[in-house]
Structure 1
Amino acid sequence: MTMELGKSAPHPSREELLADFGDELFSIQSLFQFCYVPPGRIGHLEERAAEEEWGANHFVLFKYLAVHVRLAIEQGRIVWNGDQIVLCAGRLATTDGTPLYLGLVRNSSPEENPWVMNWVGERPSSPELPAPPDLGPWPELDPCAEVVVACDLASEERRIHLPGLETAPSAARFAAVAGAVSWSLRRGLAVRQIHGTGRGYFVPVHLTGREDLTASPDLVAPVQVQGDRLVVRTVLDPEVAYAPARCVVERWEQLPAWLLDAWDSVTAEGSGGSQPAPRENAD
């Protein structure tokens, strides 16, 4: 299937396009504010791409697009085909390695979403093909840096459950999490992630056992590099790390074994279709 569009209208500037995302960065909500993605389009993209588990309601795929569509527009990695924006679907490709592309046109009901994803495929009819966006650099991760736990591990609102430490004093909880993060860092278990305004890392937190480093940990800690310190502002269920980490690798097989095991644990029944989508929270 190819696209054939008519005469071009004046194109919006990069700044105007970015304003259509709203104030949030790289969130699924910002993608939905920018464009309407018809169920048939997201389903077709999943069908055309090499097979993988995207979770309930295409949650991980939407997160992937939220990152890569925004970056493509930020970096000018788009081409115009008449009145249609053509851009790469990140680095998604078919089973034989052919890159996949997206087409976006103005929404006839702009009060709902400024843009609509009206095409998905391998062969856009644009005069040239866009390049995928560059994810940019990550801050250097020093495994010997001081780990600072800057969150309330006893907060009932956050509902943080630390296995084996339910009755431990706060100082012991902080020490246990900081020690577990340092232990994983020294073994090279961190994985890159992108969420909100920063590029950081997820680090597995093993509290109840460290015999099998390929198994899902008890928790994960989003770690931000701040000067010579590594700051932990929350701890999360392990599977929550999957979507922000999947966005920054070319293929899911490049993710660490512990994260794949955590993801498998929530998608095993019904291939994720009966599982609730993980909350999008990696701050």
Structure 2
Amino acid sequence: MTFEHDELVAAWGEPQTSRVVDRLHRFAFIPNELLEKLAETALPENWGRNNHVLKKYLAVQVAWSIEQTQYTEGDGQFYVTAGHLQTRYGTPIYLAFARNRNPDREPFYLVSVEANMSAPRLPVPPEIPTPNAIPRGVEIVMMHDHILDDNSDRVPFFAETPRVAQMCAVSGAIQWPLNRNLHLPYWYLGQISYVVPLHLSSREDITLAPDLIAPIQVNPGSLLVRTVLKPVMPFGNARVAVQRHDQLPHWLLQAWKEHAINATEDEIENPESVRSA
């Protein structure tokens, strides 16, 4: 029994969604014991409560494998890599899926997680999409109501600062790290874009966490700044966009280490929708 590419792609549903873990669970049943096995087999990482960052990672990376036809099949199963995850010895980790025989459930289910997968031919990891290059010298456009009103508690040092001065400060804080290539790849709504660290109070040690993070959207002739986030909030989306977690900056890994136990699933799924308290 073969697995048609159109069938697999259609089973994933709409790609333009921030709720990718829900999308993964609609595609396939993922037994919790196999998710735990994957976390234990791979190089140690902090995947947050209930391994939710790992679920998000799989939801994006496995979808890329299907979309890019980076899967193999045989023995009534299809095989993908677990994204770019590897064992402590550098061996890729593979996932095997089969059709779900229960017509009232997900169309597929995860059968096994193995570094030594028995398959007629093993797949290769998907390619992480390359974001659009950031043009230099273009206008920085800010959704200032969302940045400076809806989430004003994230920028308390602006409380007594005039609105135009606030916007100029954020704009300048965005340009400074861009000139030094400090921006990070960041998955959002089916695409890879960037987040930029904003050092508003000090630039003496840029290995330390910045004051804020700004997701930016690259448009022709402009950069759109949708919101500002606390430094740890984009971890899940940033982890999806790199092959290994050590490719993320030290300050982000440290901030996540301290915050992971408190991170909610909503924050991990879509940090830009989380409203300040």
Spell out the pairing of 1:85-96 with structure 2 (5 A cutoff).
85-96=78-89
Report the TM-score, using the length of structure 2 for normalisation.
Answer: 0.89
Matches within 5 A, 1:82-121: 82-121=75-114
The answer (yes or no) to whether the contact 2:52–2:268 under 8 Å persists in 1 is no
SS in 2 for 1:239: coil
**C-alpha spacing 1:166/1:35, structure 2 compared with 1 (3 Å):** farther
- Unaligned runs of at least 5 residues, structure 1: 1-8
- In structure 1, what is the equivalent of residue 275 of structure 2? none
Higher share of residues assigned helix: 2
- Structure 2 Cα separation of the partners of residues 200 and 94 of structure 1: 28
Contact 2:235–2:268, Cα closer than 8 Å, also in 1: no
Task: Give the Å deviation of 1:239.
Answer: 1.4
Map 1:131-150 onto structure 2 (within 5 A): 131-150=124-143
174, 186, 192: which is aligned to 1:199?
A: 192
Give the equivalent residue in structure 2 for 1:225: 218
Q: Report the counterpart of residue 280 of structure 1 in structure 2.
A: 269
Match of 2:4 in 1: 13
TM-score, length basis structure 1 = 0.87
Q: Answer yes or no: is 1:51 the counterpart of 2:36.
A: no
Does residue 1:180 correspond to 2:180, yes or no? Answer: no
The superposition leaves residues 39-63 of structure 1 with CA deviations (integer Å, 9 ceiling, x where unpaired) of 1011000000011111111121111
- Structure 1 residue 61 and structure 2 residue 54: aligned? yes
In the comparison of the two structures, how many residue pairs are matched?
Answer: 268
Q: Which runs of 4+ in 1 moved over 6 A?
A: none
Equivalent-residue separation in structure 2 for 1:61 and 1:160 (angstroms): 30
Partner of 1:244: 237
CA RMSD of aligned residues (A): 2.0
Contact kept? 1:215, 1:262, Cα under 8 Å: no
Shift of 1:282: 5.2
Cα shift at 1:31 = 1.2
Listed as ranges, the gaps of 5+ residues in structure 2 are: 273-277
Q: For the structure 1 residues 83 and 217, does the alpha-carbon distance in structure 2 shift closer, same or farther, using more than 3 Å as the test?
A: same
Correspondence for 1:6: none
Q: Give the whole-Å Cα distance in 2 for the aligned partners of 1:52 and 1:275.
A: 15
Measure the CA separation in 1 of the matches of 2:103 and 2:188.
27
Matched position secondary structure for 2:24: helix
Contact 2:192 2:241 in 1 (8 A): no
Identity %: 36
Give the one of 21, 28, 31 matched to 2:24: 31
Measured in 2, the distance between the counterparts of 1:59 and 1:107 equals 23
Partner of 1:22: 13
Query: Separation in 2 of the partners of 1:128 and 1:76?
Result: 14
1:78 touches 1:131 (CA, 8 Å); kept in 2?
A: yes
- Cα displacement (A) at 1:135: 1.5
2:128–2:242: 8 Å Cα contact kept in structure 1? no
